[in-house]
Copies of this chain bind each other. A is one copy, B any other.
């Protein structure tokens, strides 16, 4: 009954099996192996377009690399004020970009909106000001909400007008897709996304993420950037094998659907018991106001979850995972 984070879950059995299978025999190092080649192909199929994929082991690495590819050291990257890149990566984006400025925007439900973005952009071409360079959005957002394709298109339209790159932090991309009725392509490059952090760790891998780049010009420096950041794995096949197994037979979507369904059930049950949602539950995270006695009774039943002071002194976060058991949810209702 650990609802503190989907990072607390282990790996799916299919991922472990894939690791064991990939461990047969020698393989060329640093990505010159068959698994990594196949990852490129699988992503191209999945996204129905050419895409360059850079497997790494953490989402922070994928995010920081992505931002560094779209911004010069004197660039400005616009993000939501609660964005993981702004709040939870200890300045990683600033490190990888060589000093770009993250400019935090307000926005309801953890999402930035196109008009606020448009209003914040200024100074392009003027030497005194850090230069508008890119935008990053999180899917699912830090509030567990989702950007619809049309919302992304509007943001992308501002980006195009100002020649900004658009990055999506998809740490919970599978949960987002499972919550939206659309294809991977529809909420990424077709909606104007240039770079995607494709998260897999939270949803059943040991440690595997992929930076997927849809604009070839933005990919040119990434191999060097990844290497000098210490993120090029010698035994790369073990990253790639996780990603392949993650995509095989729609494991990723199955896992995400399950986590989302569990979140939905838990949210209903908590609301029924007196809780009040802080944000709509659209993926696998619940932000909810709970009466003190309800919170206490849940704890007594063995549930672990974090208080969420940013949403109020009576607010809490619950996160479900690919392996959350339905009985656990029922035991709490």
Contact = CB atoms under 8 A, between A and B. Distances in A.
A92 to B, nearest CB: 4
A227 interface: yes
B91 A234 contact: no
A90 B129 contact: yes
A10 B207 contact: no
Interface in A209-237: 221, 223-235
Contact of A230 (B25, B27, B64, B101): B64
Interface stretch (A15-23, A154-162, A177-185): A15-23
A57 B95 contact: no
Given A29-B7, A235-B207, A74 B61 contact: no
B64 A91 contact: no
Interface residues of A, number: 75
Given A16-B19, A26-B2, A91 B228 contact: yes
A5 B29 contact: yes
Contacts of A2: 26
A201 interface: yes
A149 interface: no
A94 B230 CA distance: 12
A99 interface: yes
Given A8-B29, A57-B57, A102-B101, A91 B130 contact: yes
A102 B76 CA distance: 12
A224 B72 contact: yes
A318 to B, nearest CB: 14
Contacts of A59: 234
A88 interface: yes
A16 B26 contact: no
A222 to B, nearest CB: 10
Contacts of A228: 60, 73-74, 89-92, 94-95, 99, 130
A312 interface: no
A312 to B, nearest CB: 15
A89 B128 contact: yes
Interface in A127-152: 127-131
A173 interface: no
Contacts of A11: 23, 235, 238
A9 interface: yes
A87 interface: yes
Contacts of A243: none
B88 A7 contact: no
Contacts of A130: 90-91, 94, 228
A99 B128 CA distance: 18
A167 interface: no
Interface in A46-66: 56-65
Given A8-B28, A74-B225, A238-B206, A98 B101 contact: no
Contacts of A127: 30, 90, 223-224, 226-227, 232
Interface in A170-206: 201-202, 206
B10 A90 contact: no
A174 B48 CA distance: 46
A24 interface: yes
